[in-house]
Structure 1
């Protein structure tokens, strides 16, 4: 705690990418931008590059998450690449073990497996995804136990089915969450935990306390390790950053309204778009977002790290203009590298 209070910018920083689909461009363009961002952030010293599983969302192209992880890993050389996350109840654990066993075999020491229990989509699409297993997500602990057993058969001595490739590989398994369920489960199993502060800020401190207080040392980790997702939009001025952030705000407004649309260009005034009730909802959901000039972002990041005692930050920047997005990640890296 004291070390982090005195030197908050010594922790690692990482990237969460949804392979956003922009209005007026194609999904192929999204994948090309993902590779450019991965190579850019690797050169800047970012620690991890995670991709998130979502379905039936016209502004997110990372639905086939493990396929895209392999593509990013093939186009980079040192940055760790992983899932933020794979929604485990959508899949048979054996399939995930084989997918990530393949990835780890191809790119040894560079693959992370972050797991979530939400569907990553609407209920109708979840039914389409889960029709074979009928999972509601309540069986997540059992699915997790089965999956971990494929990597390490000692965890399930009577296991007769083998993951080939997968068995015997040391693939870091993370639990992801936006509430207390996965926090407590990660703590009890001695696994690293990643919390979605970027869309569930009000639950952050409670989930972290639950994780740290329930933590039991394991073969994987002796001490708790918490990584926090945070929206960061940095630009040369506060005004420009706030304008860039209107793309993110429009995205959430569309989600609230059930409107399907790709990411929209920034606008000068959100008051022309949202209602007072929608603005209040966004202020709650995006309350931990850090938006501003380099100086403003540095000050807010300092406060965030001190408040949460995060071990690592995972930065997500939903910015319409790709060059501005690259520049935002550059500014954040400068903050950490200057310390």
Structure 2
């Protein structure tokens, strides 16, 4: 089974975006050494807790600082942009790093509602055009001229970055199947309904110019430590961070273990923490390994993408090291 990394470039309490990007670079280097298969970075706007507002730029930096791991976006928010421009940006990346670039796309706003207006010159994006945008994007990437205007995405080349559609619902799964793209389900966003969505994708997949067979993965929050007790201690910071996001306080940054220990929770908040644990895997090395294997089996996929947000960086890296060892990744 393949293990991959999702990195949202979190800004920890007391730190800044410069440090978040430094940590992303260090994590990419280490997971590359450990044998992880892909490393994706996300797109978030107007956020003081997630630094990655321009993932295509971060992809170029991380690919330059690694050797073999695939680097990609998780993902570009396509309705805000021209499919032609995204195609050219990723053709440049593919020319620089052949067979190492993934183009993950989504249609979420990537921030508060006003982000939509700011990214679209004061207008709301037309999400109904999203399916056609994806078809245009795939055509441009593969050297076609979808509108017959004698316009092509350059630079051209022998290799093409694959499109991955990201989603957390059955709608995105069916669209990925209809278009013939790869599909990633965000279990770390929605802990329910994912297996049905993946089944729908696998069963309804239609071959495309990009690929002949379906290809899926599932992404999950995971915290692994040398002991279950330490893993729970670290995961308590993610519990608190998610509660802050749900209550509109996401810009406060990701808390430390000390902050989480001092936090007093209401009965409702305790219930929310328990509910949100459906989006996480937490435990010792063998516990997390077994749960990841079970998750992959339930989704009928052979790749799991792990999103670990803990502080300090040493514990975050240690979590990935333990998993690499448990799954005997090729370092």
* Shared fold (TM-score, shorter chain, > 0.5): yes
1:149 equivalenced with 2:149 (yes/no): no
Give the SS at the match of 2:9. coil
Paired position in structure 2 for 1:86: 76
Equivalent residue, structure 1, for 2:2: 12
Q: Is the 8 A contact 1:152 1:167 kept in 2?
A: no
2:108 to 118, 142, 155: 118
Deviation at 1:167, TM superposition (A): 7.4
Residues 26-52 of structure 1: CA deviation (Å, up to 9, x unaligned): 211111111110010011100001000
**What is the aligned counterpart of 1:205 among 184, 195, 200?**
195
What stretches of structure 1 move > 4 A for 4+ residues in a row? 166-169, 267-271
TM-score w.r.t. the length of structure 2 is 0.93
Residue 184 of structure 1 pairs with residue 174 of structure 2: yes
Aligned to 2:268: 277
Tell me, in whole angstroms, the C-alpha distance in 2 between the residues paired with 1:73 and 1:118: 25
Structure 2 distance, partners of 1:251, 1:170, is 37
Range that drifts further, 146-155 or 62-71: 146-155
- 2:275 matches 1:291: no
* Residues 92-144 of structure 1: CA deviation (Å, up to 9, x unaligned): 21221121111111111111000001111110112111227631423210211
* Equivalent position to 2:163, from 159, 163, 173: 173
Give unpaired runs (5+ residues) of structure 2. Answer: none
CA distance in 1, matches of 2:10, 2:259: 21
The range that moved more, 301-310 or 52-61, is 301-310
- 1:263-306 per-position Cα deviation (integer Å, ceiling 9, x unaligned): 11024866944333233334334403110111211222232222
Question: Which of 55, 62, 65 is matched with 1:72 structurally?
Answer: 62
The SS at the match of 1:202 is coil
Quick check: 136-145 or 40-49, which moved more?
136-145
- The C-alpha deviation readout for 1:221-247, integer Å capped at 9, x for no partner, is 332211100111000111110110122
Contact 2:143 2:153 in 1 (8 A): no
SS in 1 for 2:320: helix
Q: CA distance change for structure 1 residues 94 and 274 in 2, over 3 Å: closer, same or farther?
A: farther
**Separation in structure 1 between the aligned mates of residue 30 and residue 141 of structure 2, nearest angstrom:** 32
Distance 1:39 1:300 in 2: 26
**Match for residue 8 of structure 1?**
none
| Residue 258 (structure 1) aligned with residue 248 (structure 2) | yes
- Residue 325 of structure 1 corresponds to which residue in structure 2? 316
Given that residues 118 and 137 in structure 1 are in contact (C-alpha distance below 8 angstroms), is that contact kept between their aligned partners in structure 2?
no
Matched, 1:55 2:45: yes
1:69 is paired with a residue whose SS is helix
RMSD: 2.1
Taking the aligned partners of 1:239 and 1:312, their CA distance within structure 2 comes to 27
Q: How many residues align?
A: 329
CA distance in 1, matches of 2:114, 2:124: 12
Q: Distance in 1 between matches of 2:217 and 2:123?
A: 31
